[in-house]
Chain A
Amino acid sequence: MKLSSMGYAFRDALRSLWRNKFMSLASVATVAISLTILGFAWLLIVNTQYLTTMMESELEINVYIKEEMAREQALEMKDAIAKIPGVVETVFVAKEDGLKELQARFGEESDLVKVLGDKNPLPDTYRLKTAEAEQVPQVAEQIAGLEGVEEVRYGKGMVEKLLSLTQWLQTAGIIAILAVGLAAIFLIATTIRITVFARRREVSIMKLVGATDWYIRWPFFLEGMLIGLIGALIAIGCIYIFYSQLVKNIALTISFLPVMTDRTVLTKLYQTLLLMGTSLGALGSAISLRRFLKI
């Protein structure tokens, strides 16, 4: 197709959009809504993952050694623990050091040592880190089976909850996106169908004077793609405004909550939304043209 013809196609597409203002508006709105949901779902997932990794790096397993174990025996356990798959860091904290830490946390002026007298209630402890958060429960279980281990403790439940939340969010997000995405495609297809009917006389004349099939199809395609594109731009605008506001508010109020603000990741999201909007539009047009534009 020649460049000047693209100009004609563009003009015709805009004319149609304007002629079916309300239908076009409804389609644009549906695309915008579905892409906004998509964008937010995606941001939510990215942020929970971000949060998980942040927490993961702080997640550790505490292994308490039985009191009757001698210090040498306790130290020898290090190899056995380090050998368990998934364990990446093993730190031995002797009971004396544990007490010192505890005291430091309570502050110099506290009466902790005085109250305890010369008895140290703390056991020797190993502090472990795993490569992945998912491995924590499994590693903990294996260590609990080792001889000389009194108890194994970790943020039990927390990891599982976070992981299942991410999973759930992903599934829910995908379902929501599919539902609204389908609605958007359907509405675009309906809009294009209306355009096809409104322009059937033009199409029949175009065919009679010898326009090529693609010359006839282009304006309809363009119309669908424009609907998708405008919808995507609106969605991006909404996401941009809300998300930057959200980030600002979180930073002011619950600053310990980590939020993803990586600009390249966000740019990528916006690009994806633009592409998806245009594709939704093209797909909707294609469905309608296949069924209703008999060339």
Chain B
Amino acid sequence: MIQMFNVSMVYNSEVRVTALSDINLHIRRGEFVFIVGPSGAGKSTLTRLMIREELPTKGQIMIGGKSLLRLRDREVPHLRRKIGFIFQDSRLLMDRTVFENVAFAMEALEMPRNHVKSRVPAVLEMVGLKDKLSAYPHQLSGGQQQRVCIARAVVNDPLIIIADEPTGNLDPDTSWEVMNILSAINKRGTTIVTVTHDREMVDRMKRRVIALENGRVVRDEERGSY
């Protein structure tokens, strides 16, 4: 599903910063992968490359068999439709209801209104927010907000979900709930890539772990730990 061959990323600002060097990765369809490592190890750069927010300085990246380097600008939206994104700070639109926040992602893909109306409640039910359709984000707890964010990420049925520190702001119990939802989504065949600092969580989940340090993969284990 996601393949990286000899990928390097060098930022040429005032000082030369090598964010990633010589990364080789293969994440298969339906996998659940944790990407761990200290701050500045290159985790965020890796996710930015996956959604083609940036192009690598060197190397090749393939998503679903398509090279991101050969992708034309106007094809980028279609790549992103295959990927759902979850943020640490959930990034909800505060002036819109839960329903509108999730519907927003479908409208952006120009889905017909009646399809939006039937699909959004179903997805919100899956993340356990059936009764919060018309609530505003500030009326929700952090965990609930994060579940709205998950609903928004999955509503368009992406092949891959990339979660950047999805539990970073949550207490352990709530984090566990969020992880369970992601696991449930993974069981239906969606590939999940989670960037995290949460040692306890990673150890408990017993999934594949890719550890980065100074822009290199230092460890890649099935059923690994932090």
Chain B residues within an 8 Å CB radius of A206: 104, 108
Least CB distance, B116 to chain A, in whole angstroms: 9
Contact of B107 among A8, A204, A207, A212 (CB under 8 A): A8
Cα-based distance from A206 to B45 in the complex (angstroms): 20
Whether the pair B74, A210 counts as a contact (CB closer than 8 A) is no
Whether the pair B80, A215 counts as a contact (CB closer than 8 A) is no
Chain A residues within an 8 Å CB radius of B112: 2, 4
Cα-based distance from A2 to B107 in the complex (angstroms): 11
Residue B110 interfacial (CB < 8 Å): yes
Chain A residues within an 8 Å CB radius of B110: 1-2, 4-5, 8, 215
Chain B residues within an 8 Å CB radius of A211: 77, 108-109
Q: Nearest CB to that of B103 among chain A residues? A: A8
Whether the pair B91, A210 counts as a contact (CB closer than 8 A) is no
One digit per residue, 1 when the CB lies within 8 angstroms of any chain B CB and 0 when it does not, for chain A 161-186 equals 00000000000000000000000000
Residue of B82, B83, B84, B110 ringed by the most chain A CB atoms within 10 A = B110
Residue B210 interfacial (CB < 8 Å): no
The size class of the interface chain B forms with chain A is 20 to 34
Whether the pair A5, B107 counts as a contact (CB closer than 8 A) is yes
Least CB distance, B156 to chain A, in whole angstroms: 6
One digit per residue, 1 when the CB lies within 8 angstroms of any chain A CB and 0 when it does not, for chain B 69-102 equals 0000010111111111100000101000000000
Cα-based distance from A6 to B91 in the complex (angstroms): 25
Cα-based distance from A211 to B81 in the complex (angstroms): 8
Q: Main SS of the interface on chain A?
A: helix
Chain B residues within an 8 Å CB radius of A204: 91
Cα-based distance from A211 to B112 in the complex (angstroms): 14
Contact of B80 among A4, A7, A210 (CB under 8 A): A210
Chain B residues within an 8 Å CB radius of A202: 93, 104
Q: Nearest CB to that of A205 among chain B residues? A: B91
Residue B105 interfacial (CB < 8 Å): yes
Least CB distance, A271 to chain B, in whole angstroms: 32
Whether the pair B113, A4 counts as a contact (CB closer than 8 A) is yes
Cα-based distance from A72 to B66 in the complex (angstroms): 102
Whether the pair A201, B93 counts as a contact (CB closer than 8 A) is yes
| A side interface size, CB within 8 A | 19
Cα-based distance from A7 to B152 in the complex (angstroms): 21
Q: Nearest CB to that of A2 among chain B residues? A: B110
Residue A213 interfacial (CB < 8 Å): yes
Q: Nearest CB to that of B81 among chain A residues? A: A210
Chain B residues within an 8 Å CB radius of A1: 110
Cα-based distance from A211 to B104 in the complex (angstroms): 10
Residue of B78, B85, B104 ringed by the most chain A CB atoms within 10 A = B104
Least CB distance, A11 to chain B, in whole angstroms: 9
Cα-based distance from A1 to B108 in the complex (angstroms): 11
A186-208 with Cβ < 8 A to chain B: 201-202, 204-208
Cα-based distance from A5 to B104 in the complex (angstroms): 11
Chain A residues within an 8 Å CB radius of B82: 210
Residue A80 interfacial (CB < 8 Å): no
Residues of A at the B interface (CB closer than 8 Å) are 1-2, 4-5, 7-8, 201-202, 204-213, 215
Top 6 nearest A-B pairs (CB, nearest first) are A210-B80, A210-B81, A211-B108, A5-B110, A210-B77, A209-B105
Residues of B at the A interface (CB closer than 8 Å) are 51, 74, 76-85, 91, 93, 104-105, 107-110, 112-113, 152, 156
20 intermolecular pairs with C-beta atoms under 8 Å apart: A2-B110, A5-B110, A7-B113, A204-B91, A205-B91, A205-B93, A205-B152, A206-B104, A207-B80, A208-B80, A209-B152, A210-B76, A210-B77, A210-B80, A210-B81, A210-B82, A210-B156, A211-B108, A212-B74, A213-B74
A208-B80, A209-B81, A209-B108 known; 18 new pairs, CB 8 Å cut-off, are A1-B110, A4-B110, A7-B113, A8-B107, A201-B91, A202-B93, A205-B93, A205-B152, A207-B77, A209-B80, A209-B85, A210-B81, A210-B83, A211-B77, A212-B77, A213-B74, A213-B77, A215-B110
